[in-house]
Amino acid sequence: MTAHLPKVELHLHLEGAAPPTFIRGLAQEKSINLDGIFDEAGHYSYRDFNDFLRVYEAATSVLTTPEDYARLTSAVLEQCAANDVIYAETFLSPDFCGGRDLGAWREYLHAMQDAADKAEAQDGIVLRGIVTCIRHFGPEKAKETAVCAAETAGDWIVGFGIAGDEMAGAPRDFAYSFDMAREAELRLTAHAGEWGGAASVHAAWRDLRVERIGHGVHAIQDPKLVDDLAAAGVVLEVCPGSNVALGVAKSWADHPIDKFRSAGVKVTVSTDDPPFFHTSMRHEYDRLADTFGWGDEIFREIAKTSAEAAFCDAETRAALLTKLETP
């Protein structure tokens, strides 16, 4: 029954969560040829990380209008609800939703929020957005993204983060954008320590002053950093299935999530880009239970940690914690 426990997911890329059937159908409607990105079973197909990026870009290229994003939001939340997720935070990029134009971004945002409201009314799942700048697009474009975030901060847009090529530039290059988001009272997270080493995690934490780290798995290389993260209460948004699929971790048994937890680091469990990695929240729970012997008590603890680390308002958090405590 572990896989059927209520769950909270904090690290989910909206475009990356697009079901293959949804993308294929949208491509057909628009007469867009997506040959070469699906296997015979209809799943996304790629050879390595670079090929994954190619397939990801091709798949998401069909998403071009606010209505597309509204439909995408509905499709993604349907999958989340089917996996007993009661609350999710998703990364949204104005770069892909109106080219960082504030007026266009507002239109995309309205469409996504409307779809999320309908899903909440129908399935009880709550969604919130984290505006995310793209690291390899550079600091200047990140500032434009931060303006979009600051101008739409509120009950639904609750956070600001950075994703993209971890090897491009340094976290400190984006400090201005994070300061802007902080002044707008947005909560902060950063992808780090997925492809970069422990120093990448330390730099993101130190220079961007974030309270959560996306992935962060290579922090395990530095025992002092692990101790410091635990002492500071920094939360890791861990995506084990993604890490194994992309070779960040050699196998589930080699994944450091259990070591982090044993060291007192606050860990959460998410899927990242679930259909690309043939995973789901139920699958993550099943594999973690099989690999590390985790039982219901540990998964309930992780869900509670996730709810406490969520960027939502206090009222929403209290409702989540009540749901998680209900047998």
Cβ(200)–Cβ(218) below 8 Å: yes
Question: Which residue in the list 194, 284, 297, 325 is annotated as catalytic?
Answer: 194
Cβ(156)–Cβ(119) below 8 Å: no
Question: Position of tokens 């996996």?
Answer: 83
Cα 310 to Cα 9, 119, 200, distances in angstroms:
9, 19, 23
Question: Position of tokens 């349907």?
Answer: 78
Query: CB-based contacts of 140: which residues, under 8 Å, 6+ apart?
Result: none
Beta strands in the chain (DSSP E): 7-13, 85-92, 126-134, 157-163, 187-192, 212-215, 235-238, 266-269
3-state helix, strand, coil in the chain (%, to 5): 55, 15, 30
Question: Position of tokens 């209290």?
Answer: 318
Q: Please choose, from the candidates 74, 106, 7, the residue with its C-alpha nearest in 3D space to the C-alpha of residue 310.
A: 7
Cβ(113)–Cβ(71) below 8 Å: no
194 catalytic residue (yes or no): yes
Beta strands at 157-163 and 187-192: parallel, antiparallel or unpaired: parallel
Rounded to an integer, what distance in angstroms lies between the CA atom of residue 219 and that of residue 260?
Answer: 9
Q: Which residues are catalytic?
A: 194
